[in-house]
Amino acid sequence: MNTSGQPIDFDNASTSRQAAEEAVPDQLSQQNSPKLPLPLTSHGPVLSSYDQQGLADLQNHFPNHTITSRLLAHFFAESTVPWLWDVIDKPMFDNCYYTFSMGHCAPSMDFIALLAMVCAISLQFLPETPANVSYTARNLEHTYTSKQSTLFTDYQHGRGVLKERMYDFSCSILLHNPTPVPSLERIQALILLSLFQLNEGNVSGSCNSSAAAIRLAHSLRMNRCATGLSEAEADIHQRVWWTLFNVDRFHCDVEIPNVYLTALSPRLRPDTGGSFPTEPTFHALQNHWARLVGDVWSRYLFHHASSYRYILDIECQIETFESNIPPSMRSTSISSNSMYALVQSHVLAVQPHHLRILLLRPSLLKFFSTNRQLVTEPTEAFHQCAAQICISSCKRLLAFYYTRRNDFNSCVHHWASSISKLFDVSLSLIIASLVPPRQFGLNDDLGTWISMAHSLLCWTSASSTLALSAARYVEVMQNYARLSSHSLNNASQPLDIGNWHNKATHTLAEDADSVAGLLNKRAKGQEWLSSEVDPVYEVQFPGFQAFCDGKTSILENFMERYCSS
């Protein structure tokens, strides 16, 4: 490893790409020690060498020990990645990293890829400026800010170059071998790679990486009851498998699931036991939620015939999930000093509201539909109630994000899932703002909530280009709806915490209603529930992929086609 503290000069390599490619594979590690990393196409032969020269070649691909150690510490303690995705067993990882950093022998190249991905995703979540860190209310604020200002002084190329370098290095190991030997470390690295790519807006790459991890996990029979493994090893394998299952189900909105229920091992138990604490309750809840999300996307949003009863059944399942969240994991009962528990409770709170929005927002389009002859009184009531609950869910989701904005630094919201939720809320509220007020009485203050969503995206955009892109798309929609635009130039200005904060806290204090509850007061009889839903429920809404691609025409065409009176 480069322990001298001097930056690696990537532009003046002492060994050229051509020389590396012409060398005999078994002799690569016997060449003179390069001052720079070898070209990315030549990692395999170097990584297969276990002599001291090959180990030095490996270590030179990483920054100095101080930077690497700080990135690892940030990943495990502050990045939120281990809190939300049970990918890495820290004691096992620490043992391998200690062996690697001390220079005794080289670990497997799969672990090297995993180490590079940990560094890359840690950089993805590392606050870039003291201004970003100033949002947090943590006791570490001042010391953390001063560390960030000096962390990269010995790396003149900057964190952006280092992040890309770590990402490219890991990809060269994980993606260039068509027939890799399956290993736990390779699967873990592919999971992190998938999450990293999704946060960068690379949807297809993320789906491909998670699919590759699933295939390797099947090869290791992680989806079956473990045999021949110690209790600790079996626990790690099971945790990684269910993390893969969750990743697969959570991107069902853009890709058909790769994991099928017939091939699953037993579900996570509330208490996994063993000597490796795993936050089992949160991850078990996430597994149940992933099953529900996968069912919605695969059965309902992929144009399978759906009835009004099916939509109400899904709503009932969402309510059941919310009621099963233990009181100890509800945001109202968690101290702000317990940051990991606060983040987990926030995720558990906002997920149900987001799924309600996706489930019910097609009813907003019904008010623009010209095909009114098939409308009956019960179905008309259904669409009005569904639109009403969709709007209230949008407000509650925004209220959760807004009231918690000072509890986290903006990098906590760097997750693509958070940005996607804010975008979906903005789109739904803007569509609702175009509906004639007489249809339902909840759109009198929608402009305020839309501005709140846009401001939250702008706040996050300080550390996420994906959030910046989403904010620009919201501006396109605002312009279309002729709402007052909150300029991106004001993204660094303090948020109006007066009126907005009061609205948010008041919204969270209100009792939540449901479509079924509202319908009981308006629609009589049950026969109509079995009829097929209106064609508006087959409309594909622009979502995460739209602003990842950067094509505003998709959004403009959608608004023009479905949201014009």
Between CA 245 and CA 253, with CA 249 as vertex, the angle to 5 degrees is: 160
340-354, 369-383, 410-424: which range is least confident on average? 369-383
Task: Give the domain-ending residue among 203, 220, 237.
Answer: 220
Domain count, the chain: 2
Unique residue bearing structure tokens 């020990």: 65
> Contact, 255 vs 296, CB < 8 A?
no
201 is a domain residue? yes
Specify whether 181 is located in the same domain as 327. Answer: no
pLDDT: is 536 or 419 the higher one?
A: 419
Task: Give the domain-ending residue among 220, 248, 273.
Answer: 220
List b or e across 326-345, with b for residues whose CB sees 16 or more CB atoms inside 10 angstroms: eeebebeebeeeebbbbbbb
Task: Output the pLDDT for position 251.
Answer: 77
Domain housing 171 = 17-220
426 is a domain residue? yes
Summarize pLDDT for 310-334 with one digit per residue, the tens.
Answer: 899 999 999 999 999 988 888 766 6
235 is a domain residue? no
pLDDT for 133 beyond 60 = no
227 is a domain residue? no
Specify whether 336 is located in the same domain as 465. Answer: yes
pLDDT for 71 beyond 50 = yes
Specify whether 215 is located in the same domain as 336. Answer: no
List b or e across 255-288, with b for residues whose CB sees 16 or more CB atoms inside 10 angstroms: bebbbeeeeebeebeeebeeeeebbbbbbbbbbe
Query: What average pLDDT does range 532-536 have in this prediction?
Result: 85
155-159, 246-250, 349-353: which range is least confident on average? 155-159
Please give the mean pLDDT across all residues of the chain: 77
Task: Output the pLDDT for position 346.
Answer: 92
Between CA 16 and CA 19, with CA 17 as vertex, the angle to 5 degrees is: 65
Specify whether 43 is located in the same domain as 191. Answer: yes
Specify whether 189 is located in the same domain as 81. Answer: yes
> Contact, 456 vs 504, CB < 8 A?
no
Joined together, the tokens standing for residue 27 give: 């002799």
Task: Give the domain-ending residue among 220, 255, 287.
Answer: 220
Q: What is the SS3 assignment for 264-329? A: CCCCCCCCCCCCCCCCHHHHHHHHHHHHHHHHHHHHHCCCCCCEHHHHHHHHHHHHHHHHCCCHHH
Specify whether 410 is located in the same domain as 529. Answer: yes
pLDDT for 44 beyond 70 = no
Task: Output the pLDDT for position 48.
Answer: 46
pLDDT: is 275 or 243 the higher one?
A: 243
Query: What average pLDDT does range 288-307 have in this prediction?
Result: 77
What letter represents residue 498's amino acid? G
pLDDT for 563 beyond 70 = yes
Task: Output the pLDDT for position 441.
Answer: 56
Specify whether 205 is located in the same domain as 350. Answer: no
Query: What average pLDDT does range 337-360 have in this prediction?
Result: 91
281 is a domain residue? no
Specify whether 177 is located in the same domain as 326. Answer: no
72 is a domain residue? yes
529 confidence band (pLDDT: 50, 70, 90)? confident
Specify whether 84 is located in the same domain as 198. Answer: yes
pLDDT for 483 beyond 50 = no
67 is a domain residue? yes
Task: Output the pLDDT for position 492.
Answer: 40
239 is a domain residue? no
Specify whether 86 is located in the same domain as 195. Answer: yes
Task: Output the pLDDT for position 262.
Answer: 46
